[in-house]
Structure 1
């Protein structure tokens, strides 16, 4: 763990927390986008739904260019929910990289 400097060890718990919260929020937004596909009559440009659509639409629109709807159903939110969940688990999950660095640093200290 020679790349872990004392300064990084001080900042790493905050990075771990913020990254975990951001990835969890993004997962929740993609889950809400999946639910929104069930109700096409909902005006998604107004209210709370705009807060869900604004951060997710850029990546979904790029993915829609590659993955077309299957049987008329947009599957891109499902794909991104899986990817964000995977990244969250790999980085800040119990066996995630940042979690392991934090645990080893605490064991050494």
Structure 2
């Protein structure tokens, strides 16, 4: 069970890191999201973020869905034994 929980925990940490990179890159308006590696980053993170964007509209032009997405990943990570 230790290997499985360690693998899941590591995967969640990596994915959280990718979400943070995605969030930070949105502060740079000149990024071409259709070029690599930015397109790959969007393809990896957007499906998860879109789940939250369906229910939480931007507030005053600020998208808070990534905050909730990372919060949920942290909760799931804390529930993993080991």
TM-score (norm 1): 0.67
* Residues 1-109 of structure 1 aligned to structure 2 (within 5 Å): 12-91=1-80, 98-99=81-82
How big is each residue's C-alpha offset from its partner over 1:26-72, in whole Å with a ceiling of 9 and x where there is no partner?
11011112112211321122222223211211121222121000110
Structure number with higher helix proportion: 1
Spell out structure 1 runs of 4+ moving beyond 3 A. Answer: none
What stretches of structure 2 of length at least 5 have no aligned partner?
A: none
What stretches of structure 1 of length at least 5 have no aligned partner?
A: 1-11, 92-97, 100-109
Distance of 1:78 and 1:45 partners within structure 2: 24
Q: Which has the larger radius of gyration?
A: 1
Ranked by relative contact order (alpha carbons within 8 Å, sequence separation 6 or more), the top structure is 2
